[in-house]
Structure 1
Amino acid sequence: MASRSSSRSRGRPGGRRIAGSVATLALAGSLLTACGGDSGTPTLNWYVNPDGVDTFRTYAEKCSTDQYDIAVQQLPSSATDQRTQLARRLAAQDSSTDLMNLDPVFVAEFANAGWLEKVPDDLAGDITDGGDYLEGAADTVTWDDGVYAIPLWANTQVLWYRKSLAEAAGLDMSQPVTWDQVIDAADKEGGTVGVQANKYEAYVVWINALMQGAGGDIVSDTEAGRDAKVDLDSDAGRDAAAVIQKLADSKAAQADFTVSNEGTSLGQMFPAEGPGEFMVNWTFVYANYKGLVGKPGGPADEQQFEDLGWARYPQTVEGEASKPPIGGIDIGVGAYSDNGDFAMEAAQCITSTEAQVDLAVNDGLMPSTNSAYEKVAATGDFPEDLLDLYRTSVDEGGPRPKSPFYSQISSAVQSVWHSPTSVNPDSTPKKSAEYLADVLAGKRLL
């Protein structure tokens, strides 16, 4: 617990230190308040993921009011562990779980279980009316004709690359490129292809994007719950497996391919020797490299930073539009919170345009609304064509399956498709479809 003055208004931290015995009394009173004393100012617990924590702490202060304080509680780094911690609290009807940063795939599961407070109709209408909120971001917070969270940032993946590498390989990056072309280009020129293929959630993100880019889905009719249709054993599943197999068998696969994650391939873009890489990764990449110019792991100088390029996520099948992954963070209010009305008010402050702009500028985490994007563009901190690519990728991208059983779906897919070096188009889709169908039917355990 931490002592805080309650004399502050929204957006403006207040209060001052008082010396002597009066300070001691004030500290004792505020400690009781933070612990939920009946006569004190309530504290709203805000569970956050590790990205952008400093900005979250700033907005916990800014969005606290005379009526409540907001305390940041940090969740584990992996999405799986975040889900586990939150699900345990909510299943136990924990009244101190007030505000939550939710990976979009948590929303359907938590809403279906009755763990999330429904967003008020007027705000829900603003989110889903096709106006300010990006379509892809708005879709992540809906379940069963209701809205159960507020989008904060909308993440997506693009293809990052060295311009000199693409040029040497003869790739016209102004036109859509396929996974086959990217792998062949890197292989030919001695470069590599960075992906996320460890046995964790981001590997499923890759598989899902590959399948959707081939016109398919991992599962469909997800509102049927356990009776959802499993679509892995399909042409789209085989097309996805073929891409993974091709990269695994090529010289373009990075040394840590089977345990690769969002961070491991970053250092391959500007190596001390070699032409660099093509890499699919999230929006934080630009700000990351911009801040590393002249430092270990980053571009040697501004000229090398200018060699960083970006393009739409690669096509699985030539001529069929890719479906870039959609991620991000949505803010949910716990259904069992003792201060639900305050929490919903705080959630709207936390997801304000100002907060979205600060997350973009400070942390490279892109907005969920067009109005915030316009303000980010006005800062000049990001190239306008990159911001346009982000927005288009979110609106035209593909979400992971929206299902109350998504955790089981993801784990079942990981179990069969990992290691990526063992993926085979002739067997992996069929085997994984049978396994997932049995898991959903309760015939097999994960």
Structure 2
Amino acid sequence: MAATALSACGSDDGPPTLNWYVNPDGVDTLTALAKSCSTDQYKIAIQLLPSGATDQRTQLARRLAAKDSSTDLMSLDPVFVAEFANANWLEQLPDDVAAKATDDDVLSGAAETVTWDDGVYAFPQWANTQVLWYRKSLAEAAGLDMSQPVTWDQVIDAAADNGGTVGVQANKYEAYVVWINALIQGAGGDIISDNEAGKDAKIDIDSDAGKDAAAVIQKLADSKAAQPDLTTSNEGTSLGQMYAGAGEFMTNWTFVYQNYKGLVDSGDITQDDFSDLGWARYPATVEGEDSRPPIGGIDIGVGAYSKHPDYALEAAACVTSSEAQVDLAVNEGLMPSRTSAYQDPKLTEAYPADLLQLFSQSVEDGGPRPKSAYYATISAAVQSVWHSPTSVNPDTTPEKSAKFLRDVLDGKALL
């Protein structure tokens, strides 16, 4: 806290310092962006947030609720934009700035994350999505044609019948809701609808789509393909399973490619191992229905209580430029939200063309988590009922979670 206060003051004679609160992903490149986007009129200083999205939200919410003027820029998980905008904690982008921040060059899935109540409240910076990563040899042994859409049922059976596993994120945290939401949307449903009604939103999780999602989770939990740490699994736990035994099918974010590529350089895996890595669109919940890949990433918001909102808006535009997005993708594996960035020679040299196409198309076609001022409450309520994945039952879990979520939003139950 003391360090933050000091950095916010700056020199009486020098330009003001804009504090940019960032999550721990890609800090080296973000630090370089802060330096390159600083000007003679202001300097940008990096302030590090906790590693978990929930803890990031808590720290920022406490500062903004206290009208902290030293919170100039902030990196936001897209699901927190609506909540912060609704609380008047974010500077609404002026019309001309908003038009540029969400122009036709921005992938629609990313542009959707920064709007609330007909206003634009943040700049899309990088757009994360999940794809299906797998060992080609495992898919071949199972006889799966990965050039065609595959379902969760097919993936689970293929892994179980051929000595492989399926890697997911099913610990009691935000990424588990990412999986649940993608499964439900892939079956044509939603967790809630009429989102802008706030506490009075319609609860839709108790539906055929909710039951289809629960059936997938139940099948994996009961399958030989489930990894031993299923109930505590996260983005990192299943990475090591890709080259263990027959390997795995794994749904995970875009950083995976650079992660395994780096293991070749360090000698932890061979080039042949890396060549056995495949990728495909996120699995379908229901055969014949298009999947809705998860959308994540980071949006850059400007604090409503900043003493220098004009400078902060200018700085936010700079750190989210197409050039900045290319640097984040090449250096950190954090993929762009702008279409033009995917065509940059530095990016096309760093990634296979079909993988870049898969990333951008997945963001374009992806399914966002519920956009609601009460999203943190919604997420926690879903986690409370759907965890542990070993207890999920399509006949009871969607109904129970719908009732609990309704009671929580109505103030009749506590999380």
How would you bin the TM-score normalised by the shorter chain? Answer: over 0.9
Letter in 1 for 2:48: Q
Matches within 5 A, 1:261-410: 261-271=234-244, 274-293=245-264, 295=266, 298=268, 300-375=269-344, 379-410=348-379
SS in 2 for 1:56: helix
SS of corresponding position for 1:244: helix
Pairwise CA distance, 1:353: 1.4
Listed one character per residue, the Cα deviations across residues 346-380 of structure 1 (whole Å, up to 9, x for unaligned) are: 00111111110110000000001011111156541
CA 1:33–1:185 in 2, change beyond 3 Å: closer, same or farther?
closer
Partner of 1:6: none
- Residue aligned with 2:20, SS: strand
Structure with the bigger RCO (C-alpha within 8 Å, sep 6+) is: 2
Shift of 1:39: 3.9
**Deviation sequence 1:205-260 (CA, Å, 0-9, x none):** 00000000000000111000000001111000000000000000000000110000
SS, match of residue 283 in structure 2? coil
Equivalent in the alignment of 2:140:
167
In structure 2, C-alpha distance between the alignment counterparts of 1:128 and 1:55, rounded to whole Å: 23
Structure 2 equivalent of residue 112 of structure 1: 86
Q: Are residues 269 and 32 of structure 1, via their aligned partners in 2, closer, same or farther at CA, if it must alter by over 3 Å?
A: closer
Does residue 1:187 correspond to 2:160, yes or no?
Answer: yes
Query: Contact between 2:254 and 2:359, CA under 8 Å: does it hold in 1?
Result: yes
Letter in 1 for 2:366: G
Q: CA deviation at 1:128?
A: 3.5
1:88 aligned residue: 62
Distance, in Å, in 1 between the alignment partners of 2:308 and 2:272 is 53
Residues matched between the structures, number = 414
The residue that corresponds to 2:122 in the other structure is: 149
Deviation at 1:125, TM superposition (A): 1.5
Q: CA deviation at 1:34?
A: 5.3
Partner secondary structure for residue 18 of structure 2: strand
Deviation for aligned residue 1:126: 2.6
2:240 is matched by which residue type in structure 1? G
Q: How does 1:107-256 map to 2 (within 5 A)?
A: 107-129=81-103, 131-256=104-229
Query: Match of 1:399, SS?
Result: coil
Partner of residue 439, structure 1 = 408
Q: Does 1:430 align with 2:399?
A: yes
The amino acid across from 1:372 in the alignment is A
Asked if 2 retains the 8 angstrom alpha-carbon contact of 1:165 and 1:191, the reply is yes
- List per-residue Cα deviations over 1:166-214 (Å, max 9, x = no partner): 0000000000000000000000001000000000000000000000000
Task: Give the partner amino acid of 1:97.
Answer: T
The Cα of 1:293 is off from its aligned counterpart by 1.0
Give me the whole-angstrom Cα distance separating, in 2, the residues matched to 1:248 and 1:188.
15
For 2:220 and 2:395, locate their aligned partners in 1 and report how far apart those are by CA, in whole Å.
16
* 3-state SS in 2 of match to 1:117: coil
Partners of 1:308 and 1:209 lie apart in 2 by: 23
Distance in structure 2 (CA, Å) of the matches to 1:32 and 1:306: 49
Q: Give the aligned CA root-mean-square deviation in angstroms.
A: 1.7
Post-superposition Cα deviations, 1:285-334, rounded to whole Å, max 9, x if no partner, equal 001100111647x5x21111111000000000000000000000000000
TM-score with structure 2 setting the length = 0.97
Q: Contact 2:330–2:346 (CA<8 Å) still a contact in 1? A: no
Give 3-state SS (helix, strand or coil) of 2:45's partner.
strand
1:67 aligns with 2:41: yes
Q: Mark the CA change 1:357 to 1:294 in structure 2 (over 3 Å): closer, same or farther.
A: closer
Q: Does the alignment pair 1:51 with 2:25?
A: yes
CA distance in structure 1 between the partners assigned to 2:410 and 2:2 by the alignment = 47
Partner SS, residue 63 of structure 2: helix
The Cα of 1:123 is off from its aligned counterpart by 2.4
CA distance in structure 2 between the aligned counterparts of 1:100 and 1:292, rounded to whole angstroms:
32
For the 8 Å contact 1:104–1:141, the answer to whether it is kept is yes
Could you tell me how far apart the structure 1 residues matched to 2:353 and 2:200 are? 44
- 1:77 paired with 2:51, answer yes
Residue identity in the other structure for 2:204: D
Change in Cα spacing, 1:221 to 1:252, as seen in structure 2 (3 Å) is same
- Kept in 1, the 8 Å contact 2:18–2:42? The answer is yes
Q: Percent identity?
A: 76
Q: Deviations over 1:332-351 (max 9, x none)?
A: 00000011111111001111
- SS, match of residue 356 in structure 1: helix
Letter aligned with residue 120 of structure 1: P
* Counterpart amino acid of residue 240 in structure 1: A
**Alpha-carbon offset, residue 127 of structure 1:** 3.5
Alignment deviations for residues 4-47 of structure 1 (CA, whole Å, 9 cap, x no partner): xxxxxxxxxxxxxxxxxxxxxxxxxxx98852454432110000
Judge conservation of contact 1:33–1:42 (CA < 8 Å) in 2: no
Cα 1:124/1:87, change in 2 over 3 Å: same
Distance in 2 between residues matched to 1:414 and 1:373, nearest whole Å: 35
Q: Under a length normalisation based on structure 1, what TM-score does the superposition of the two structures give?
A: 0.90
Do the aligned partners of residues 264 and 376 (structure 1) sit closer, same or farther apart at CA in structure 2, a change above 3 Å counting? farther
Amino acid at match of 2:26: G
**Contact 1:2–1:34 (8 Å) recurs in 2:** no
Are the counterparts in 2 of residues 155 and 327 from structure 1 also a CA contact under 8 Å?
yes
Contact between 1:377 and 1:384, CA under 8 Å: does it hold in 2?
no
In the alignment, the residues of structure 1 paired with residue 79 and residue 144 of structure 2 have an alpha-carbon distance, to the nearest angstrom, of 35
Q: CA deviation at 1:434?
A: 0.2
Aligned CA distance change for structure 1 residues 376 and 223 (closer, same or farther; 3 Å) = farther
* Aligned counterparts of 2:40 and 2:6: Cα–Cα separation in 1: 16
The letter of the residue matching 1:280 is T
